[in-house]
Amino acid sequence: MDTKKILGVIGGVGPQATADFADMLVRMTDAQRDQDHIRALIFNDSAVPDRTDFILGRSGEDPLPVMTADARLLEKAGASLIAVPCNTAHYFYDEISAAVGVPVVNIIEETLRYTAKTLPGAVKVGLMATKGTVAAGSYKKYAAGTGIEIIDPDEETADRLMDLIYGRIKAGLPADRDGFESIVSTFFDRGCGAVILGCTELSVAARELGIDDPRIIDSLGVLARVCIEKCGGKVRNPKE
């Protein structure tokens, strides 16, 4: 009998990021056979209201009741731990965690931990994220005490990020390479030693564009790695 823990995924936030996360769980696992992969329950709940609109006060539709219901459903179905492949949704992290009796992996904490470990010289770290994540201050909250200074996008860059995330990736359109690379450059020009893709749609864009720069930290990839390990799987050597 397989003794690996079962991962529960609150997906649909957004759907393409969820699909990429599922693909990462498979591709990043060092497996020689089906049974070497982790077990996962993925609920692609696209009915979760928009997180950024709620945080910014542009919508009265609260995502929290839907996400807590999803978390309880996954727990009841047998999930041993839960992941939410959406950075902005971590505005509600404490409440989601309190709603279930199993651990909820924190994508922001894990991404900051990974950044500090792999790029210890990167004191100033740029944040590419939705306006909801920036307004919530989630990365700054969890960066406290880590020695990492989170650099938010300026107003113009924030607008460009929202267009890239909502106008292209969530809309099912191809990523804009020039736009993506230009945004990254603005952070390096401001003295950042690393840039975090703090929105899982940006992770989708980075994979589509073949972005391969160790200074660009992919939060979705970090989450996949952590979930594989926590569920008893072995992470494939990234150099292989």
Question: Catalytic residue numbers?
Answer: 86, 199
How far apart CA 151 and CA 196 sit, in angstroms, is 10
| Rounded-to-integer distance, Cα 215 and Cα 198, Å | 13
* 224 and 24 Cβ atoms separated by less than 8 Å: yes
Query: Using N-to-C axis directions, what is the helix angle for 107-118 and 219-230, rounded to 10°?
Result: 100
Q: How far is 8 from 217, CA to CA, in rounded Å?
A: 24
**CA gap 6, 102 in Å, rounded:** 11
Say if residues 200 and 14 touch (Cβ distance below 8 Å).
yes
Q: Which two tokens stand for residue 36?
A: 């070497």
Pick the closest to residue 27 from 18, 37, 35 (CA basis).
37
The Cα–Cα gap between 198 and 220 comes to 8
Residue entry with tokens 């996962």: 40
List Cα–Cα distances, 178 to 1, 56, 129, 202, in angstroms: 50, 28, 17, 14
**Whole-number Å distance between alpha carbons of 55 and 227:** 27
